[in-house]
Amino acid sequence: MFKKETLPLIIGIGLPLLLIVYVAATVYLPSLFNKPLYDFIYATGYDSRYATVENQTVKLNQKPSYYPNEASRSPEVDLYYYDVSRESSKLISVEEARNYELDPSEKSPDGYTVSNNRDRSYSFFPLFYGGSDRGTYLTGHGVSKRVSEKYYDLKFLGWIKK
């Protein structure tokens, strides 16, 4: 027979389990059915804003001089190639980056975007500090994947054209 004390125990243990199932479903189910198809290139570093896309290729613009007699300087930028199938970034040279034809649109042809998340994970007790959500993410169709932990000085340049 169902004992009186069984119900609170079921609620007590069942609710957290339900939340875990819900979380697993929201995180993993969409990524089973939706796979991003387009790799992309992004720039990081303090000077990343000087990296642009012109004529569908990467271009590093010179930094303007601060003083009248100072010559313009080359920006210090790291370029990365993000492989969507491996979900990982690889450091590439400017020359390598120039081998790719880029589409600088905000949204990829299959409907994904790359954006920075500056919001810190909100918590009201030390117990609930869930690590930081800050970073750059590839999002779309219910999928979100962390591209980099950097949420500043990271500039998306373009999708690799197929």
Partner 1 sequence: MNGTDNNRTDQILSELSALIESGQINKKQILDLFKDEQPTEAEQSKVNLQTLFYVLGAFIVIVGIVVLIYQFWADMDQITKVLLTLGSAISAYSIGYYLHNQEKTKELGLAFLTISLVTYPIGIGTTLDLVGVSAMEMGGLTIISAILFIIYFASYFAFKTWLFLPFVVAAGSSVFITFTNLLFENALTPKHFNEYRGLVLGITYIALGYYFSLVRKPSMVSIMYFLGFILFLGASIILTGFKPNINIIWQFAYPFLLVLTFYISVLAKSKEILIVGTIFTFAEILKLTSEYFSRTLGWPIALIIAGLVIMGVGYFSFEVNKRLIKHQSQP
| Residues making contact with partner 1 (CB under 8 A) | 1, 3-5, 8-9, 11-13, 15-16, 19-20, 23-24, 26-28, 87, 117, 121-125, 127-128, 130-131, 133, 137, 139, 143-146
Q: Phi and psi for 151 in degrees, rounded to 5?
A: -120, 0
Q: Whose Cβ is closer to partner 1: residue 103's or residue 133's?
A: 133
Q: Whose Cβ is closer to partner 1: residue 107's or residue 146's?
A: 146
Residue 61 Cβ vs partner 1, minimum distance, rounded to whole Å: 32
Q: Whose Cβ is closer to partner 1: residue 108's or residue 144's?
A: 144
Q: What is the dihedral of CA 48, 46, 146, 128, to 10 degrees?
A: -150
Residue 108 Cβ vs partner 1, minimum distance, rounded to whole Å: 17
Residue 35 Cβ vs partner 1, minimum distance, rounded to whole Å: 15
Q: What is the CA radius of gyration of the chain?
A: 22
Q: Whose Cβ is closer to partner 1: residue 10's or residue 91's?
A: 10
Residue 107 Cβ vs partner 1, minimum distance, rounded to whole Å: 17
Q: Whose Cβ is closer to partner 1: residue 26's or residue 99's?
A: 26
Q: How many CB atoms lie within 10 A of CB 60?
A: 19
- Beta pairing partners, 146: 137
From residue 132, alpha-carbon distances to 5, 23, 149, 151 in Å are 39, 17, 9, 11
Quickly tell me which residue has 């929201």 as its tokens. Answer: 26
Residue 21 Cβ vs partner 1, minimum distance, rounded to whole Å: 10
Question: Would you say 21 and 126 are in contact if contact means Cβ atoms under 8 Å apart?
Answer: no
